[in-house]
Amino acid sequence: MGLLDFFFPKYCVSCKALGSYLCPSCFAKLSYDIPYTCFVCQRPSLDGQTHPGCQGRYTIDGSFSGIAYKGIAKKLIYVFKYKPYVSDLQTALVELLYESLIQNEAFIKLLDQQFALVPIPLHATRFRQRGYNQSEVLAHGLSKKFGIPVIAALLRTKATKPQAKLKKKERIANISGAFALSPSFAISLPAGRQANIMFVDDIATTGATMLEAANVLKRAGAKKVWGITLAKD
């Protein structure tokens, strides 16, 4: 036990066992059975792809997730938004997401196409309150693992209410017009790469946030847009 652990002992976020923020037995209880749905119609979808009939010109192409958003995963995502957990949890959560992604054949196929990772941004006010953006933390972790660049392609121009507290229709209205293209987007795409984007966020529920963000980037010329979330509701 290090000196810091002595003064600030770590407890499992779920069962309160001393030693780490997620103990091995709670880690083993996480569900990898992702309830994949099409973000447009909310019906089940293989590998999280948008159904061909639901795919529009500016629609997200699909999404991937690491774990199912239930039980212990809910507690994990909750504390990941608060210091001091982030620095200790990020390595474990990135590893978890990475391991889940590389076991997904549909995701592995996409890696050949060369993507840039784009974290879903927080509004400046919330960023100041929190001190960091958990989506950025995940994106940079995955960037190191896959050797894929991270681009801050989007700005959050509207201070939205937390999506989790709203009903589906309210979510769409809440997030509508929330994003704008970052002025650096066009010039920061690596030369020779197609403008393929993988959004990174902590959780997807109805996918309203990703649909809105994909709309902005596809209108700006992105070819394929997918989402990666740590957890899927």
Measured from the CB of residue 226, what is the shortest distance to Zn ion in angstroms?
15
d(CA 168, CA 233): 13
Between 68 and 139, name the residue whose CB sits nearer to Zn ion: 68
Measured from the CB of residue 52, what is the shortest distance to Zn ion in angstroms?
9
Measured from the CB of residue 13, what is the shortest distance to Zn ion in angstroms?
8
Measured from the CB of residue 54, what is the shortest distance to Zn ion in angstroms?
3
Sequence-ordered strand ranges (E) for the chain: 62-68, 116-119, 154-156, 179-181, 197-204, 225-232
Residues 6+ apart with CB under 8 A from 185: 151, 153, 154, 217, 220
Between 37 and 163, name the residue whose CB sits nearer to Zn ion: 37
Interface positions with Zn ion (CB under 5 A): 12, 14-15, 17, 23, 26, 38, 40-41, 51, 54
Between 195 and 214, name the residue whose CB sits nearer to Zn ion: 214
Alpha helices in 12-122 (DSSP H): 24-27, 72-80, 85-102, 105-111
Measured from the CB of residue 50, what is the shortest distance to Zn ion in angstroms?
6
Beta strand pairing status for 179-181 and 154-156? antiparallel
**Cα 188 from chain centroid (whole Å):** 21
Phi, psi (degrees; rounded to nearest 5) at 18: -75, 140
Between 67 and 189, name the residue whose CB sits nearer to Zn ion: 67
**Which region holds residue 46: left if phi is over 0, alpha if psi is between -120 and 50, else beta?**
beta
Between 42 and 91, name the residue whose CB sits nearer to Zn ion: 42
